[in-house]
Amino acid sequence: MLSILLGVFFVLHGLVHLLYFGKSAHYFELQPGMVWPSGSWAFSKVLGDAMIRNLASILLILAAIGFIAGGIGVFFQQTWWRALVVGTAIFSSMVFLLLWDAGFQHLDNKGGVGILINLAILVVLLVFRCPAFDS
């Protein structure tokens, strides 16, 4: 039962990354006035907003694929799921940190909650080494 819940959680976390992809690609607006990923502290001086949105779109699709594949790996009790999810959580956190506008207002609109979820995933998987059903 735990493996099913964990797999569903990872798949849903990946799907949320696809919501941010849709926002960055301007397919839809998640919230009125949300300008993320425009104004990235790491890339704005080098790349224009259109290029940042394209970069964000590609990176978010990769993160979504990683979490969804990790969830599928959990469902099928594959040994590689933990490494994939750990790597994807680190990758996803770096994406949101690099695309952040360095402002502390509305962090939930800039991937702040996702980073907290990624940190929780890393603590559970690396520090507590839970769950142990793949041993």
pLDDT tens figures, 20-65: 999 999 898 888 877 788 889 989 889 988 999 999 999 999 999 9
Helix, strand, coil percentages, rounded to 5, for the chain: 65, 0, 35
User: Phi and psi of 114, rounded to 5°?
Assistant: -60, -40
pLDDT given at position 135: 47
Domain count, the chain: 1
Q: What is the pTM of this model?
A: 0.91
Q: Do 64 and 13 touch, CB atoms closer than 8 A?
A: no
Angle of helix 2-24 versus helix 49-75 axis, rounded to 10? 170
Residue 135 lies in a domain: no
Residue 87 lies in a domain: yes
Residue 64 structural domain: 2-127
Model confidence at 1, in pLDDT bands (50, 70, 90)? confident
- The amino acid occupying position 7 is G
Residue 45 lies in a domain: yes
Residue 133 lies in a domain: no
The three-point CA angle 7-83-110 to 5° equals 70
Model confidence at 81, in pLDDT bands (50, 70, 90)? very high
**Would you say residue 98 has pLDDT above 80?**
yes
Residue 59 lies in a domain: yes
Residue 134 lies in a domain: no
Percent of all residues in the chain with a pLDDT value above 70, rounded to a whole number: 98
32 preceded by a cis bond (ω within 30 of 0)? no
Q: Which tokens in the block code for residue 77?
A: 């009790």
Residue 132 lies in a domain: no
Q: How far is CA 71 from CA 15, 28, 47, 86, 116, in A?
A: 11, 26, 34, 12, 19
